[in-house]
Amino acid sequence: MKIIIHGGFFSESSQSLETKIAKQNALKQVVSNSYEFLKTHTALETIVYAVEQLENDELFNAGIGSQIQSDGKIRMSASMMDGKSTKFSGVVNIENVKNPIRVAEKLFGTVDRVLGGEGATTFAHSNKFEVFNPEIPQRRKEYEAKLGTKSMGTVGCVALDAQGNIAAATSTGGKGFEVPGRISDSATTAGNYATMHCGVSCTGIGEDIVSTAVATKIVTRVSDGFTIEKAFEKTFTELKEIDGFAGAIAIDHKGNIYHQDSHPSMVFASYDGKTLEVFE
């Protein structure tokens, strides 16, 4: 059993040492809790459990604390993928819910598994997800000051369970001040992808991740026989050709855990039951 999570990027220039330590501690707690959960649950159940915890922590830009778009509204996206069945489900630009990943989970068993905008929000509320405003005072303050921080604050998880199944999930509150209707990578297979061979969750600039199909390429290359290291190397070389900004976490079917970013520093934590690694 293995698990790795991420919480977007950390900027030394705009975030304090106190924030860095808080994120390290939060990620350690979530990855430890999620590993314990993984002992008695599937990889698919665990990725939702882990991402929900990250969505509930305003340190991260997903769920509570999501960024505000240019029209003053919060719209979130999230997705999940099961490596065994290769089923993918997600929500794009959903509003007024607490945990977008739980809505994606609800969609997993339906025929129309990816919904966007008003349709996603209507689906959530009609399925008894409570109406919830994820905005925190700090985000409103930033919006009103027109700071436009352009946060690369996605969260995600990849897990390998005791049966050898892999699953991946990703959730984001957007980059802030984007044009309403913008679609990020988080609810696409460019940013979140899994097969029986490998699972990947990405963070960074969505347009760059989509342009180079980061998650899909890494997983496909592992499926085609690349080592996970070589799959990352080739994919991030292609990302560099467009000066792309991204980070990715992964686990392959052999139990190898891997992560890489194009610009420091992606915040992450991993645990295999023996060693807990966290970003520095």
Nearest alpha-carbon partner for 219 in 194, 189, 191, 253:
194
Q: Taken in order 13, 17, 18, 24, is the CA torsion positive or negative?
A: positive
What torsion do the CA atoms of 227, 230, 232, 237 make, to the nearest 10 degrees?
-160
The verdict on whether 154 is a catalytic residue reads yes
In order, the DSSP letters of the chain are: -EEEEEEEE--TTTS-HHHHHHHHHHHHHHHHHHHHHHTTS-HHHHHHHHHHHHHT-TTSSSSTTPPP-TTS---EEEEEEETTT--EEEEEEE-S-S-HHHHHHHHTTSSS-EEEHHHHHHHHHHTTPPP-----HHHHHHHHTT-------EEEEEEE-TTS-EEEEEEE--SSSPPTT---STTSTTTEEE-SSEEEEEEE-HHHHHHHTHHHHHHHHHHTT--HHHHHHHHHHHHHHTT--EEEEEEETT--EEEEESSS-EEEEEE-SS-EEE--
Catalytic residue among 154, 189, 203, 235: 154
Nearest alpha-carbon partner for 155 in 2, 24, 43, 9:
9
Catalytic residues: 154
